[in-house]
Amino acid sequence: MGWLNRMTQFKAKAEQQESVGAGLFLYPVLMAADILLYQAALVPVGEDQSQHLELARDIAQRFNSTYGETFVVPETKLPMVGARVMGLDDPTVKMSKSAPGSMHAVALLDPPERIKKVIGRATTDTRPAVDFDDLGEGVTNLLNIFQAFSGWSDDQMRRHFTGMNYAGLKKNVTEMVVASLDPIQRRYREITADPSYLQKVLQEGAARVSPIANATVELVKRRAGLYA
């Protein structure tokens, strides 16, 4: 099913533009290679990538059963809320940074003014207020975004938002998103202000993980009989 889903996405992209890179179709295999190379045990992903993790697990299990225990079989970690965030202008499709339309998504580095504008134009539905017994896709998406950032329980969400009009809902979501992204944006500015620091972190990270990757490649070659 993962490959079928990826083929569907490939065709959908192809219909929207003249050419589509093969990387879109090959991505699940490349993702599996990255995971298995570093012997990752737990991988946090969004809902749309859970099938890719299943492919990585299948590859690890098949290799292990054929050549002996070699790879850690990774477990999938999905967030309780916000595992799939939908487009603000079209809540029937997954939010994507590559999707056309300026009102589709909020980027991590967007200023508060733009976040307010995009969320303010988000699709809701024809109902006058939030009704948890009959939520439209757009309203559900906005509530999920708020809950993912706030960590509120379902009961807290119901108590706070039931009966709230959509202007109030969008105001609440905007304030929560702006407040949650602020420390990320401040930290980003601190890091990018010193290119030498960023380079140092990259070098130190490479030094830590390279031995793991090299050991995995060596083990795979030996188990597969490439040194025979």
Burial (0-12, 13-18, 19+ Cβ within 10 Å), 41: exposed
* Catalytic hit among 11, 77, 97, 171: 97
* Catalytic hit among 11, 94, 116, 117: 94
First to last CA, the chain: 37
Residue 89 CA to residue 200 CA, distance in Å, equals 40
* Catalytic hit among 11, 13, 116, 200: 13
Asked whether the beta carbons of 223 and 217 are under 8 A apart, the reply is no
Residue 219 CA to residue 106 CA, distance in Å, equals 43
Tokens standing for 136?
Answer: 């439209």
Asked if 13 is an active-site residue, the reply is yes
Residue 202 CA to residue 69 CA, distance in Å, equals 31
Asked whether the beta carbons of 72 and 22 are under 8 A apart, the reply is no
- Report the SS3 class of residue 17: coil
Please spell the DSSP secondary structure of 174-186, one letter per residue.
HHHHHHHHHHHHH
Asked if 200 is an active-site residue, the reply is no
Residue 171 CA to residue 80 CA, distance in Å, equals 24
Which positions are catalytic?
A: 13, 94, 97
